[in-house]
Structure 1
Amino acid sequence: MSTNCALAIAIQAGVPILTWGPPGVGKTATITMLADALELPLEVVLASIREPSDFSGLPVIEEKGVRMEPPAWAHRLALAGKGLLFLDEISTAPPAVQSALLRVVLDRVVGDLALPASVSVVASANPPEQAVGGWDLSAPLANRFCHLFWSLDTQGWVDGMIGGWSVSGLPHLPPAWENSIPDKEVLVASFIRHRPHLLLQVPEDEGQAGKAWPSPRSWSMTARLLAAAETVQAEEDVVASLVAGCVGEGACLEFLAWRRDLDLPDPEEVLANPTYLQLPDRGDQAFAILTAVITAAVGRLTEERWFAAWCVLALASEHGMKDIAAVAAKKLAAARKPELSIPLKELQEFAPLLQKGGLM
C-alpha cells in the first residue's frame, strides 16, 4: 500500500518514477490500475523492442528543413493534454535507446514534440541479473528518476486473488500544492549547507550509478516530492521511500534525522512577532529559520511583512550571525517593491553588501 501511495504522489507531482522489482510481481498491472484510478490516459511503451528514433523522432524532410516526427503514442498524449507514459522493461533497453530517453524522461520532449506538463513518466525495470539481455542504467538516465522498490505483499496478493484486484485510498494532491515547494527548497538547501559533501556523490560502481544517488537535480526532485507528500499528510514510511528514491538510502537517512532535530518555528508566527524570536546557537538551525522566514515574507510581501523580515535579520546580526543573515538579506532586498520604503535602522548592517551587489 505504501508503494502505491508513493507512486500516486510522485505521478501527480510530475516526478519521473522508476519501479524496481523481479518479474511477475505485478508492476505493469499496478501502474495500469493507478492510471485508471487517477483518470489518466495510459500509453505503454516497451522500451526493449524500440529503436532510438522511437524517442528522438524520425527525420521528415520538409521545405524549411528536417523535422523529427514523434510516434503515434506521443501524439495521443499531446492531444489528451494529460496522461501517463509507462516505459516498460527499461533495463533491457540498449544503451543507444537509453540515451534517446534522456529528454523524454526529464523534459517530456519526444522528437520535436513537447508533451504537456501534466504528462507523467513511469518506468519499470527488473534487476540486470534477472533480466534477459539486461543492462545497468546509465548514470545520467538513472539520476532523472525517483527509484521505488517493489515489495511483494503476500496478504495483498491473496486478497486480490479472492476478491479482485484494485487500488483504493490513493492520495490526491490539492490544486495549490505547489505553493509549499519554496519552503521545502529552503529546507533542502539548509541541509546541504550543513552537509555540503552530499550535494553531489556520483557512485564509482556502475551498478550503483544506475540507482538513486545525490545530485543537484535529485535534491530538487526531493523538495518537490516533500511538498507533495506534506499536502496529503503522507505517512513517514512513504516520505522516506520518496526521499531515498531520489538521493539514495545514505543521504536519505542523514536528511531525515537532521530534519527531525530541527524543531523550526512557524515562519508566519515569527513574522507576526519578530522581536520574540529566539535564535538557536546551531548555525544550520539558524540558517533554516532565517531562510524560511524570508521565503514566507517574499511569498506575500506587504509593508508590514517587509519590515518584520528586516527586523528578524537585524536580530540575527546582533546575535553574531551576520554571515548567515546576509544570504537571506540578498533574497529579501531583491524582492523589494517600489512602494516599500527602506528600513534604514534594520538594514544598516547589510547596506554595504547590498550596495556592492547592486540590490540597493
Structure 2
Amino acid sequence: MSTTGFDAADELTGMLRATRTEAGVSGQLQALALAVSANLPVLLWGEPGIGKSAGMRQLADGLGVSLETVIASVHEPSDFAGLPVVGADPAHEGVTMAPPDWAVRLVKAGKGLVFFDELSSAPPAVQAALLRVVLERQVGSLRLPETVRVVAAANPPSSAADGWHLSPPLANRFVHLDWTFDARVVARGMAGTWPALSVPVVERSRTANAVAKARGTVSGFLTARPGLVHHLPSDAEARGRAWPSPRTWEMALRLLAVGYACGAEREPLATALVGAVGQAAGMEFLAYMEELDLPDPDHVLADPARFALPDRGDRQLAFLTAVVAAVQGRLTQQRWEAGWTVLAKAVDAGVPDVAARAATDLAVMRKPEWPVPSGIEAFLDLLDMSGAL
C-alpha cells in the first residue's frame, strides 16, 4: 500500500475530529430544537466562526437526517426560482423551472435539513427568490416535503461581507435566535467533549390539551393587547429581525403548543417565542403567560360543575377559548355538553358577552342527534342571529 507525506498528518487530523458528547444544558440549542420540532423556519444570528454550522451538523445528527448546506450569498435568484428548461412543445406543456441538485436530493430522501448560510450577505434579489422557498417550500418546479426543516444563518450587517439588512417580508417568516458561545463549553470541546443536543419529543397523549391551552393563551393575549397583533418597526435593522404580525403570532401559537406537548422548559420556550414575535411583544406575552395560569381544560370538562371562572376578563376569554378548543380536539357528546356547563358559568357570573364567541364556536360542533342542553338557553338569541342553530 503506497503512502504519501500527508498520511500521518491526515491520521492526526482524524483523531482531532473524533469527539464525544455528554449531557448538558444549552438554552439556545434547546430553543433551536423546539422551533425545528414545530417545523418553523429558523434564522440564527451570530458573528462568524462561533459554531452555527457545527450546530447544524449536530442537529441533523440528532434528527437522523441528512444536511444540505447552501451558501445563499454565492447564488443567483434563478438558483432558487429554478432555471427555465424549454421542452418540445412549450406552448402546450409550458416551461419547466429546473431545481438545483440539493433540492432534488432532499425530495428523494423524503426528509432532511436545509441550511441557508450567509443569508445577510445575499443581495435583495436573492432574498426575494428565497421567499417562496421558505414560505411555500417551492424550489423551481419542485416542492420540498413538509418533513424537510429549514434553518438559515446570518451575520449582523456590520460584520458580514457586503452585508444587507433582511427585507421585512423575508425576516417575518423566521424564528430569530441569537447564536452565542460559552467560553467554558468551547474549552471543554477543545478537550474532546461537546454538549449533546436533545430533540424534544411530542407526546401524543398531550397534543389535544396542548393545542387547546395554546389557542386560549394566544387568543386571550391578543384580545387584551390588540395593538400588538401587527407592528412593523420603523428602522431598517429592526424590520430585518423579529416583529409581531398575524403570521408570527401563528408561529408563536405552534411553538407554544409544541412546548406544552413536549414539556419544554421555560427558558428555551421563552427564547423561541421572543424570536418569533420580537423582544417587546414577546416579553409582554411572557409576562401575561406567567399571570394567566390557565386551568387544565380537560380536567374542567371531566367535572365542569367544580371549577370556578377566573376573575379577570382576558383570563375568562382565554380559558373559555381553551375549553372550546379542547372540545373540538376530542369531540364527544359528553364533552360538548360539559362545554355548555362551563359557558353557563360565565352567564351566572354576569359576563355573557365574554362567552358569546365561544358559544357560537361550540354550537356549530353539535351533531343532529344530540339534544340541546339547558346551558344553551342564555345564548339562544345570539346563536339564532349568527345562524349557528
Match of 2:338 in 1: 308
SS in 2 for 1:45: strand
- Supply the distance in 2 between the matched residues of 1:255 and 1:172 (Cα, whole angstroms): 23
Please point out which of 346, 356, 361 is paired with 1:326: 356
- Supply the distance in 1 between the matched residues of 2:261 and 2:359 (Cα, whole angstroms): 29
- Supply the distance in 1 between the matched residues of 2:247 and 2:372 (Cα, whole angstroms): 36
Please point out which of 54, 67, 73 is paired with 1:42: 67
Q: How does 1:145-184 map to 2 (within 5 A)?
A: 145-164=174-193, 166-174=194-202, 176=204, 179=208, 180-184=210-214
- Supply the distance in 2 between the matched residues of 1:169 and 1:90 (Cα, whole angstroms): 24
Match of 2:80 in 1: 55
Asked if the contact 1:219/1:247 (under 8 Å) is kept, the reply is yes
Asked if the contact 1:146/1:212 (under 8 Å) is kept, the reply is yes
Q: Give 1:87 deviation, angstroms.
A: 0.1
Match of 1:188 in 2: 218
Asked if the contact 1:45/1:85 (under 8 Å) is kept, the reply is yes
After TM superposition, the structure 1 stretch with the greater mean CA deviation from structure 2, 144-153 or 57-66, is 57-66
After TM superposition, the structure 1 stretch with the greater mean CA deviation from structure 2, 134-143 or 56-65, is 56-65
Closer, same or farther: CA 230–143 of 1 in aligned 2, 3 Å = same
Asked if the contact 2:200/2:264 (under 8 Å) is kept, the reply is no
Q: Give 1:131 deviation, angstroms.
A: 0.6
Deviations 1:21-56 (A, max 9, x none): 001111112111211121111110000010111111
Match of 1:19 in 2: 44
Letter of the structure 2 residue corresponding to residue 20 of structure 1: W
Please point out which of 283, 295, 308 is paired with 1:278: 308
After TM superposition, the structure 1 stretch with the greater mean CA deviation from structure 2, 232-241 or 131-140, is 232-241
Q: Give 1:178 deviation, angstroms.
A: 5.2
Match of 2:136 in 1: 107
- Supply the distance in 2 between the matched residues of 1:103 and 1:252 (Cα, whole angstroms): 26
Deviations 1:297-344 (A, max 9, x none): 22222221111111111221222211110110111112122222212x
- Supply the distance in 2 between the matched residues of 1:161 and 1:330 (Cα, whole angstroms): 60
In structure 1, list runs of 5 or more residues that go unmatched. Answer: none
Asked if the contact 2:59/2:197 (under 8 Å) is kept, the reply is no
- Supply the distance in 2 between the matched residues of 1:337 and 1:118 (Cα, whole angstroms): 35
Which segments of structure 1 move beyond 4 Å, counting only runs of 4 or more? none
Asked if the contact 2:86/2:96 (under 8 Å) is kept, the reply is yes
Q: Looking at CA atoms only, which structure, 1 or 2, has the larger radius of gyration?
A: 2
- Supply the distance in 2 between the matched residues of 1:102 and 1:315 (Cα, whole angstroms): 47
SS in 2 for 1:268: helix
Asked if the contact 2:215/2:321 (under 8 Å) is kept, the reply is no
TM-score (norm 1): 0.96
SS in 2 for 1:174: coil
Q: Give 1:5 deviation, angstroms.
A: 1.1
After TM superposition, the structure 1 stretch with the greater mean CA deviation from structure 2, 31-40 or 118-127, is 31-40
SS in 2 for 1:349: helix
Letter of the structure 2 residue corresponding to residue 24 of structure 1: G
After TM superposition, the structure 1 stretch with the greater mean CA deviation from structure 2, 192-201 or 280-289, is 280-289
Match of 2:3 in 1: none
